[in-house]
Amino acid sequence: AMAAERALAMATCTAPVNIAVIKYWGKRDTDLILPINSSLSVTLHQDQLKTTTTAAASRDFTEDRLWLNGKEEDVGHPRVQACLREVRRLARKRRGGGEDAAALSLSYKIHIASENNFPTAAGLASSAAGYACLVSALARLYGVEEELSEVARRGSGSACRSMFGGFVQWQRGERPDGTDSLALQVAPETHWPELRVLVLVVSGEKKPVGSTAGMQTSVETSPLLKHRAEVVVPERLAQMMRHIRERDFEGFGQLAMRDSNQFHATCLDTFPPIFYLTDLSRHIIALAHRYNAHHGHTKVAYTFDAGPNAVIFALADTVPEFVEVVRRSFPPAANGDQFVRGLPVGSAALPQELLAAVVTEPVPGAVQYILHTKPGPGPQLVDDPSQHLLGADGLP
């Protein structure tokens, strides 16, 4: 019976997306994925955004295989291989070199299936969730419990931050081998219960310039990026950790907006320049500033990654009014009922003076939908066998 059971070992995990509020842009080592500066992010709740990954190993598999969202992909991708290699190395180390009869054979080929419940590569941090999930599932499969953020970093830099929930710092580290470049939780997701996140999805398109290529061009050509990494970020990181610790939304929001703007300024300072913000992104930025100015303090804060989708932070009591402001500023084309997804949003009536001051020139249909979510936990093990993405034959 044991032999039959051991024929196929399987593990399934889910992992979250994270949104940086102090941005990572630029590597000092492209192979090990070591950053030129530390960064800080908020992990988003998996009820709204998650990757699910099943990893299976069997002596009957003839080759490693990988499926993403149901489609077979190249398992030979160097970053996928780096993660596989690292987890197997940790498993070998854990067993002290000797082959434990009960442990999964490291020579077995592996099948991996991964699915996102959101558009891949649409500027929604799919690589972070994807690699965090891959590493979590592989670690579970091989019985490894070590410091895994370092392994996830080898897949995608920002993936190391998705190994924890809540508020997470990716420490730049000093060592050339990268052993001190890892993620640490600054505060758990329960620390700031009122914090909410609105993702304004303006397009599910792939980015014009991938992050990997874009950031290296920036490192090579932008003097502003060098100044940012060496002078600006260390101070901002300390400030941001203080704002989070004190649950100071005013400070948190202002700094998040400034850091997003500076990141996009370094993209513009790159030669040739990179444009991730669109006319619509700029429209959303102006809207947020008008809204805050009308209220006389920071009620909403935007941040944009390497893509046009806006992420807006707000406290729960601001959400209904601001969602209505967005709905009036970007009247939905068809999907009126599907315009707000995720956590429920209460209705709000807008005072006439707010409308006049804030909703200046509506752009119909520009925002596809709003996803309402909040900070959430790190990777989770899925116990329910019906949730596996691979069948008993090891195929999707």
Structure tokens at 367: 């925002």
**pLDDT for position 98:** 63
The neighbour count for residue 199, using CB atoms within 10 Å, is: 24
**pLDDT for position 313:** 99
Q: Any residues with CB less than 8 A from the CB of 198 and at least 6 apart, and which?
A: 311, 312, 313, 314, 319, 322, 323, 326, 370, 371, 372, 373
**pLDDT for position 335:** 62
Distance (Å, whole) CA 96 – CA 83: 20
Q: Which domains does the chain have, with CATH numbers?
A: 8-188+381-387 (3.30.230.10), 195-373 (3.30.70.890)
Q: How far apart are the first and last CA of the chain?
A: 25
**pLDDT for position 209:** 76
Distance (Å, whole) CA 289 – CA 32: 39
**pLDDT for position 1:** 38
**pLDDT for position 207:** 65
Distance (Å, whole) CA 137 – CA 130: 11
Any bridge partners for residue 65, and if so which? 111
Please answer whether residues 20 and 158 qualify as being in contact, where contact means their C-beta atoms are separated by less than 8 angstroms.
yes
Tally the residues of the chain: 396
**pLDDT for position 241:** 98
**pLDDT for position 74:** 95
**pLDDT for position 100:** 64
Structure tokens at 326: 């967005």
3-state secondary structure of 203: coil
Sign of CA dihedral 344, 346, 347, 350: negative
**pLDDT for position 97:** 64
Q: pTM for the full model?
A: 0.95
Distance (Å, whole) CA 154 – CA 34: 9
Where helices occur in the chain by DSSP H, the ranges are 2-6, 78-94, 126-142, 149-153, 211-221, 223-227, 233-245, 249-269, 279-295, 319-329, 352-358
Render each residue's pLDDT in the chain as its tens digit; 396 residues. 344 445 799 999 999 999 999 999 999 999 999 999 999 999 999 999 999 999 999 999 999 999 999 999 999 999 999 999 999 999 998 887 666 656 788 999 999 999 998 766 455 768 899 999 999 999 999 999 888 999 999 999 999 999 999 999 999 999 999 999 999 999 999 999 999 999 999 866 666 778 888 999 999 999 999 999 999 999 999 999 999 999 999 999 999 999 999 999 999 999 999 999 999 999 999 999 999 999 999 999 999 998 889 999 999 999 999 999 999 999 998 766 789 999 999 999 999 999 999 999 999 999 989 999 999 999 999 999 999 999 999 999
